[in-house]
Structure 1
Amino acid sequence: MSDVIYPRESVYNLIPKEESPIQKPSRYVSKFRPNVVRESKSSKNAMRMMGPAKVEVPSPDKFLKKHSKEHKLPEKTHRSKDACCTVRKPPVPARTDHPPMGIHTKRDFVKTTVAVPMKPQPISVDTHKGHKQPLENSGLVPKYIMKKDYGEVPEYLQQRNEEERRAQEEFNNFVREQREQGAMKHLSDEERQAVLEGLKSNWDKLHHEYQGLSLFIDTLSKKAHKERLEEAMKQLEKDISLFERFRTIYIPDN
């Protein structure tokens, strides 16, 4: 009956159950414990009362004296002049002696006297605190106008202009061929202005109709009508900007 598991709200759970004692595992004891205990007792018993067995007894003459632990500098040794300077220098020449000729030293006095003195580097002071920099890097020296190619058009710009000129010539040739074949018609200034005014009048009509829409777009038909007006107005704006940008306009002759 003890092995039967009942639901949590069963009446059988109210019957007291016998509690089985918990079997704890035995405590771990090292196998080296007796040796450790024996060694610790043997070392303690040897100097339990009077300290270590053999200790060097201090001598009564070796007591701490005053200034004995301070660092001392080595004593100075006096040297005689004869010991350090064994070779005598030659005597100072007399006023009547002639100077020796043909002796060259490490320093060439001739070059130093003839050489041109160094010029100070030009600088530019740009702050009130004395900050300075080389004058060449300050932008005050006109070094760019001294170049050989100053004022000339760079090569990449010349190449770009040549490509644009070549493309314009090809376009003009193509237009000329199309006109000769009768496939394209050139609009005159009057026709171009008339088309531009017609586009602007159409845009005004659509804009007036757009301004007359209701404030609340609550149906699908109103929303679609508004989108159609916006698309038509955008297309007219593109056409107007195209006619205003270009003076020469060709249209296909159908």
Structure 2
Amino acid sequence: MSLVQITHHDEFIYKILEKPPPEPPKTPRYESKLERQLKETKIPQLKRTFGYAETPLKPPEQFLKKGEGIGQQSKKSDHKCLASGNLPPVPKRPPPGKEPEKPKVNFKVLNIKKVIKAKAKPVEPRLVDTRNGHIKKIKGSGEVPEYCLRQDFGQVPEYLMKRNRRIQKQLEKIKQAEENKESLCKLITEEERLKLLEDLKHNWQLMQKAFLQLPMLTDTIPKILKKTKMEQELRQLEKDIALIESNPFIYIYD
């Protein structure tokens, strides 16, 4: 085994390790050109106040004269009427001459004739009911019968006649439907009757078997209720069996 003794060396640990790559340069921050121009052209307005403490008034000689106020501005329009060749020609003025003579009418004579032929205005019947001359109209006062003299007095109104006709049509439809209605009563065949009797007897046997399996001692309420219920069902089955055996024709309703 050989030993190597190093007495002098120029190694440096920070030079042995690889240096990390340099960071990329950052992009310059965005600055608006308009903002720079505004800052250059901006003029500070100093020494501003809130205004006068009291608004100064004009002297009396400077009163508002006609036409000096703020008038309504006229609306200007850019519309231009473009004349085309399809417009009709301008009508010519009639030649100068004498105007046609108008017929002379005597309006006084006409008015007199109209008044003579006109009928007199009918006098409205009125009633004086006090000594001071209080006048009221007879029409609508209730003193003279008016409602009973109407043409439709005592007649059935039209809306009631329409309602009665509508009800009559509905009744006729119901009556017709009942007449054409099929009978709900149906006679069962002999095979169905025997099959029903056989099923009832089978149910009675099963119920009788379950009833005989009940305990003899009924010392609790549930036992008593169960036994009573089964006895009622057995009696009902016996009645149904006897009814079907005694009646060969049986009708049922759907």
| TM over 0.5, shorter chain | no
Q: Under a length normalisation based on structure 1, what TM-score does the superposition of the two structures give?
A: 0.29
- Bigger Rg, which one: 2
Q: Under a length normalisation based on structure 2, what TM-score does the superposition of the two structures give?
A: 0.29
